[in-house]
């Protein structure tokens, strides 16, 4: 069973560990780099852990199993960011559970839409998002951490 909850300051080490793994495992999936975030100190990680809209997922044998978050990008739009599921936890509902948590938080914020960016080459993530009701928009942009790669916009109602 997947447990997803909002992160707290006591999660800073788990958050750091899984985020840095995400940046190593999928360097072309995020707007940041492992080198940049590995240099962050404990204070930065604690601040990230208490951000509203930040979630961490657990499975009994994979702790933590995944993470993701959202922020209010516009009055009725929450941007889904930082999604990652550890390879050993994939296919077990972790991604779906994190998306559901962010969508629930979006509803609490009064949003009507959840939006995200996904790298064009990240087929696994795109399939997850499509299973969760996201559709491709006409939006395109270069990946901030590697402008040679493109990202596509996706959205779904909450």
The mean pLDDT of the chain is 95
Q: Is the pLDDT of residue 38 over 90?
A: yes
Report the C-alpha gap between 81 and 51 in whole angstroms: 13
Q: What local confidence, expressed as pLDDT, does residue 63 receive?
A: 82
Q: What local confidence, expressed as pLDDT, does residue 61 receive?
A: 84
Count of the separate structural domains present in the chain: 1
Q: What local confidence, expressed as pLDDT, does residue 28 receive?
A: 85
Q: What local confidence, expressed as pLDDT, does residue 145 receive?
A: 85
% the chain with pLDDT above 70 = 100
C-alpha dihedral (106, 109, 115, 119), degrees to nearest 10? -70
Contacts 24+ apart (CB under 8 A), 67-75: 67/7, 67/15, 67/18, 67/19, 67/22, 67/98, 68/98, 68/99, 68/101, 68/102, 69/102, 70/102, 70/105, 70/106, 70/114, 72/109, 72/111, 73/115, 75/110
Residue 12's domain is classified under what CATH number?
3.40.630.30
Q: Which two tokens stand for residue 34?
A: 């492992």
Q: Is the pLDDT of residue 138 over 90?
A: yes
Q: What local confidence, expressed as pLDDT, does residue 8 receive?
A: 95
Domain span holding position 114: 3-157
Over residues 97-124, mean pLDDT = 96
- Reported pTM: 0.93
């Amino acid at each position: 069973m997947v447990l997803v909850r909002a992160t707290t300051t006591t999660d800073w080490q788990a958050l750091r560990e899984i985020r840095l793994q995400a940046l190593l495992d999928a360097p072309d999936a995020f707007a940041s780099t492992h080198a940049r975030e590995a240099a962050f100190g404990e204070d930065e990680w604690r601040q990230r852990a208490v951000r509203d809209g930040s979630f961490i997922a657990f499975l009994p044998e994979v702790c933590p199993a995944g993470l993701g978050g959202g922020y209010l990008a516009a009055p009725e739009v929450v941007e889904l960011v930082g999604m990652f599921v550890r390879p050993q936890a994939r296919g077990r509902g972790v991604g779906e559970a994190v998306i559901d948590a962010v969508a629930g938080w979006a509803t609490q914020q009064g949003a009507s839409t959840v939006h995200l960016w996904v790298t064009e080459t990240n087929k696994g993530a795109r399939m997850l998002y499509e299973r969760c009701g996201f559709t491709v928009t006409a939006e395109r942009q270069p990946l901030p951490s590697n402008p040679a790669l493109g990202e596509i916009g996706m959205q779904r109602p909450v």
